[in-house]
């Protein structure tokens, strides 16, 4: 029973994301409203439980640390990864290194553009078959 419910919501999510991805501004608006309503619910629930601000801070901190979200959100994965691999900061890099990275990023962007066009073509074919 749980698997059927989970599969239903997975399919529904995929369908909704697929439709909204064609309208990024609407997607951002819907996502933003969802986020605000979620956090409003969390805030009001804490208020209804008469949770003090100190208790909220401590509980929130432990939840974020234990789930790994604290570091990822406040420092960022990119910053952590560059530190782990010993990558230089932008101001420490030489001009040649920056140009090489820019070239690699342009190549990646063109590859992504080609993939996006292929996926759009596949989507059109699927829509035509429906």
The residue written with tokens 């920056």 in the block is 98
Alpha-carbon gap, residue 17 to 23, rounded angstroms: 10
Average pLDDT of the residues in 39-55: 93
Predicted local distance difference test score (pLDDT) of residue 79: 61
Across the chain, what does the average pLDDT equal? 83
Domain residue spans of the chain: 91-130
Distance (Å, rounded) from C-alpha 108 to C-alpha 114? 10
Residues of the chain with pLDDT > 70, as a percent, come to 82
> Each residue of 68-109: pLDDT tens digit?
887 777 666 666 666 666 666 555 556 777 678 788 888 889
Can you tell me the distance from the alpha carbon of 7 to that of 15, in angstroms, rounded to the nearest whole number?
12
pTM of the model as a whole? 0.50
Segment (H or E) for 38: helix 24-48
The pLDDT value recorded for residue 87 is: 62
């Amino acid at each position: 029973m749980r698997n059927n419910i989970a599969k239903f919501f997975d399919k529904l999510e995929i369908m909704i994301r697929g439709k909204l991805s064609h309208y990024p501004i609407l997607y951002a608006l819907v996502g933003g409203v969802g986020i605000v309503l979620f956090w409003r619910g969390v805030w009001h629930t804490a208020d209804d439980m008469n949770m003090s601000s100190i208790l909220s801070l401590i509980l929130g901190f432990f939840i974020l640390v234990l789930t790994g979200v604290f570091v990822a959100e406040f420092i960022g994965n990119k910053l952590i990864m560059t530190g782990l691999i010993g990558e230089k900061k932008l101001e420490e890099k030489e001009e040649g290194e920056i140009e090489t990275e820019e070239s690699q990023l342009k190549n990646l962007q063109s590859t992504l553009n080609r993939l996006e066009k292929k996926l759009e073509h596949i989507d059109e074919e699927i829509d035509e078959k429906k």
